[in-house]
Structure 1
Amino acid sequence: MSPDPSFLYTTNQVLEALATLSYGVNHRKGFIVLTGDVGTGKTTILNIFMQWLRAQNAATAFVYNPRLRPEELLDFILADFHVRCPSTIKSRRLLRLTDWLLEKHREGQPVVLVVDEAQQLSADVLEELRLLTNLETPTEKLLQIVLSGQPELDALLAQPSLRQLRQRITLRCRTGAFSAEQTKEYIEQRLHIAGAERRDIFSAEAIACIHEISGGIARVINVLCEQALIHAFCENKTTIAPETIEVIAREYHYAAQNLASV
């Protein structure tokens, strides 16, 4: 269930998202937004992106708890960037951050702030982030900010009070659910990476059932498959049938409305 980059299944949408993120950083675009429904792989993409940033020698900060006040956000950013400032006065802390960003710019080192679960950010914190992007040279932004969140993030950014921030978003990318064929390939790839010698552990009917119940959402597919493997092991079965998937779906209250049609 953890967003392990080694299990990444690269659809065209995933490749487009990674290309958009890397392009935005390389060209100092300022704000980039990544959105997608729950369980569609946003955090896995961010982990891949963070690995790429480290390979580019970029300075990074990752905000995983968006429920912060503006002053707490600044403290978190300074701490994650390892920027020391003995003063507790906000203006001096901002000056210290600006000096550090200019130093990194002179060294040619990108600086990237990633905010996960950004749909939970308050309007005040979003405004604080917008003001941070005012730190710039005549030609480019000193700080690149990636906002990642569920579709509610789009609705949040659409508020009239955030129009200044919205105008600064230069790039957007999305994650989505798998098609039926992608669900099959996703399951087979994960089995292969995990060391399975057989690709037919899940019957074709079971995979169709998994797709129907999960709606192609990767996280739900993972839960259904993992529990199905445990059930099959306990019952000494070598192939997983759709009936096993239906039992697990009911246990976990997944897509009960779909079960009648499976």
Structure 2
Amino acid sequence: MYKRFFGIESNPFSGSPDPRFLHMMPHTREALAALEYGITTRKGFIVLTGEVGTGKTTLLRHVLNSFNPELVLTSFVFNPRMDFIDFLEFVLCDFGLSPTARTKSGMLIQLNRWLIERFWHGQTCVVVVDEAQNLSCDLMEEIRLLTNLETSSEKLLQIVISGQPELEEKLKQDDLRQLRQRVALWCRTQALTHQQTVSYIEERLKIAGAVQPVFTEDAATLIHRASAGIPRVINLICEHSMILAYVEELLRIPAALVGAVIQDLDLELTTSPCLSAFDQGDGDPLTHDHSPLSSNINAKRLSTWTEGERRDL
């Protein structure tokens, strides 16, 4: 609804993991290189971890999309709360196969034969398990056994498990030590620094088609403090801020407006100084009105937004 107003072609802060918007930071490049290397060289087992909202799924989709789909075949398991029979059935179906038998042994035989065929055709097969911190220990052990599907020199199935930091703690459990020993590569995503947050916001807007800055410097600083550098939270704040700016006809989004959105989203700042550092004049730009999408804005707050930043109608 605000795309035309800001002169952009797509939503720059969508909550969906769009690989187009992957922001390349040093840790992102490192994780990306490790994933690409692990898959192309058939390392067998790779673990990707990171806090909620730091871009793990976006990174995975970017990696998978970078491969030739004729040479790298993928199965993406997004709901790991299942038993091994369901897991095998899902993987087979995701690879485009119809299970010939709904037994563990029958599906394993079918999968193994198919993987051997793909191997001799020069194709690499990858299973990605997202939200892997939710895997049961029993299912993790069963997945580990899939790495036994191999030729004399190559792993037939590449497995990437991705999850929150709890996944690393889970893998430290003694009953999962054999799985831990199978992990060839560990990758991690991280929160963004202040400067990285500013760059992240600018780049996403540019990819969406923006030609002018949308957020002021103070607004971007406030976004970083409220989001702790977590991309998903950055997106949430920016999305709500752009909607409110559209309603208020503001082409440049100031810190006062962002502060109002932060209050409405019940987010907390991670560093000092306090929010009052962004106050202007006698008004409180951060008055809680519980309505970031409406135009019912506190009059004093509205007076702090520069009239020159409004679109001339």
Q: TM-score range by the shorter chain?
A: over 0.9
Q: Measure the CA separation in 2 of the matches of 1:227 and 1:106.
A: 51
Please list the CA deviations of residues 147-205 of structure 1 after superposition, one character each: whole Å capped at 9, or x if unmatched: 01111110111111000000000101111111111111111111111222212x21111
Contact 2:85–2:102 under 8 Å retained in 1: no
Match of 1:34 in 2: 48
Contact 1:59–1:110 under 8 Å retained in 2: yes
Please list the CA deviations of residues 119-166 of structure 1 after superposition, one character each: whole Å capped at 9, or x if unmatched: 000011101101111111121211100001111110111111000000
Opposite residue 151 of structure 2, the aligned amino acid is: T
Q: Measure the CA separation in 2 of the matches of 1:4 and 1:84.
A: 29
Instruction: Give the match's secondary structure for 2:184.
Output: strand
1:67 CA drift (Å)? 0.4
Q: Measure the CA separation in 2 of the matches of 1:256 and 1:212.
A: 5
After superposing on structure 2, the runs of 4+ consecutive aligned residues of structure 1 that deviate more than 4 Å are 256-260
Q: Measure the CA separation in 1 of the matches of 2:24 and 2:270.
A: 30
Match of 1:209 in 2: 222
Is 1:229 matched up with 2:226? no
Q: 2:255 aligns with which of 212, 235, 242?
A: 242
1:260 CA drift (Å)? 6.4
Q: 2:76 aligns with which of 62, 69, 86?
A: 62
Match of 2:264 in 1: 251
Is 1:86 matched up with 2:86? no
- Note the aligned Cα RMSD (angstroms): 1.5
Match of 2:86 in 1: 72
Opposite residue 192 of structure 1, the aligned amino acid is: K
Q: Measure the CA separation in 1 of the matches of 2:39 and 2:208.
A: 33
Q: 1:46 aligns with which of 42, 54, 60?
A: 60
Q: 1:219 aligns with which of 224, 232, 246?
A: 232
Aligned length: 261
Match of 1:182 in 2: 196
Please list the CA deviations of residues 194-246 of structure 1 after superposition, one character each: whole Å capped at 9, or x if unmatched: 222212x2111111111111111111111111111111121122322212112
Contact 1:250–1:256 under 8 Å retained in 2: no
1:98 CA drift (Å)? 1.0
Instruction: Give the match's secondary structure for 2:178.
Output: helix
User: How do residues 100-119 of structure 1 correspond to structure 2 at under 5 angstroms?
Assistant: 100-119=114-133
Match of 2:179 in 1: 165
Opposite residue 248 of structure 1, the aligned amino acid is: V
Q: 1:133 aligns with which of 147, 154, 166?
A: 147
Is 1:121 matched up with 2:121? no
Q: Measure the CA separation in 2 of the matches of 1:171 and 1:22.
A: 11
Q: Any stretches of 5+ residues in structure 1 without a counterpart? A: none
Opposite residue 231 of structure 1, the aligned amino acid is: L
Match of 2:30 in 1: 16
Please list the CA deviations of residues 55-79 of structure 1 after superposition, one character each: whole Å capped at 9, or x if unmatched: 4621211101110111111111111
Query: Which structure's relative contact order is higher, taking Cα pairs within 8 Å and 6+ residues apart?
Result: 1
Q: Measure the CA separation in 2 of the matches of 1:153 and 1:243.
A: 39
Larger Rg: 2
Is 1:98 matched up with 2:115? no
